[in-house]
Amino acid sequence: MDNGSVIRIESISKHYQMGDTTVRALDGVNLSVRAGEMLSIMGPSGSGKSTLMAILGCLDKPTDGRYWLDGSYVEDLRDTQLASIRGKKIGFVFQQFNLLARTSALENVMLPLIYAGVRGHDKRTQAEEALALVGLSDRMDHGPSELSGGQQQRVAIARALVNNPAILLADEPTGALDSKTGVELMDLFGKLHRERGLTLCVVTHDPEVAARTPRIVRLQDGRVTGDETE
């Protein structure tokens, strides 16, 4: 495998059985992402980009193909091992933030650390550091309902960063935000990428969001149709 590849997939396919017809959500996708890269996976709805992200994030298993994540081969792993990989190597940011209701920003950020078995004091320190990175040190004790959409998404980013993941996967991260806040969020991603060498993969249908990343992978009908780097 490549040196320095965080992600390497070879001829990944994902088929769903819908009644009598087989839906080929992904059909032989190859992709490799180097450490410290920032890319977008772009395509219209139904192109398979969400399925690809689910497989990259170990949330779903491919029907066929091979996948190396951060140097280790991910195949035939049991659910508990996949859970452990998700907790330690991957950070997720979702369109709908997915913060726990009535739970403070700090505790939301601490969630992955709880499952990773990090002890009390370290847990708090790491969560505070992650919140500082996204500029929310003064909002740690606020619940999601007391935060704006942009702030909630930054809490979600802090939660994704707290375990120092090998890669951060963001699924339409600006989808639920107004355009100004969306731009601010992409600025934050850019800053984290530049200053901390964060490996970042944004899945989007929005060309303006995709334009903010140096590399754009285009997906159509389950196949890669383009891979451009500035």
Partner 1 sequence: MNVFANIRVALRALATNKLRSVLTMLGIVIGVAAVVALMAIGNGATASITEQIEGIGSNLVTVFPGSFEHGGQRIQAALTYEDYMALEQHVERVNAIVANVSQGMQLTYAGNTVDVQVTATLPAYQQVRTVEVANGRFFLRSDGASRARVVVLGSQTATDLFAGLNPLGRTIRIGDVFFEVVGVLESKGGGGFGNEDEIALIPLETGYTRLFGRNAFSHGQRKVNDVSMSAATPEDVEWVMVQIERILRQRHGLKLSDDLDFTVFSQNAILETFDEITATLTIFLGAIAGISLLVGGIGIMNIMLVSVTERTREIGLRKAVGARRGTIMFQFLIETVVLSLIGGVTGIALGWGIAYGVSAADLVQADVQANTIAMAFFFAAFVGIFFGIYPASRAARLSPIEALRYE
- Among 48, 68, 51, smallest CA distance to 60 is for 51
Burial of 74 per CB tally in 10 Å (0-12, 13-18, 19+): buried
- Could you give the string, one character per residue 52-81, with x where binding to partner 1 holds by CB under 8 A and - elsewhere? --x--x-xx------------------xx-
92 lines the binding site for partner 1 (CB under 8 A): yes
- Compute the least distance from the CB of residue 159 to partner 1, in Å: 7
For residue 135, the tally of other CB atoms under 10 A from its CB is 13
Residue 171 beta carbon to partner 1: minimum distance, rounded to whole angstroms: 9
- # binding residues, partner 1 (CB under 8 A): 27
Q: Find the shortest distance in angstroms from Cβ 169 to partner 1.
A: 10
Tokens representing 124 are 């708090």
Q: How much helix, strand and coil, in percent to the nearest 5, is found in the chain? A: 35, 30, 35
Cβ contacts of 57 within 8 Å, gap of 6 or more:
86, 90, 92, 169
Interaction of residue 102 with partner 1, rule CB under 8 A: yes
Residue 173 in the binding site for partner 1 (CB under 8 A): no
Q: Which residues bind partner 1 (CB under 8 A)?
A: 54, 57, 59-60, 79-80, 83-84, 86-88, 92, 94, 96, 98, 100-103, 111-112, 114-117, 159, 163
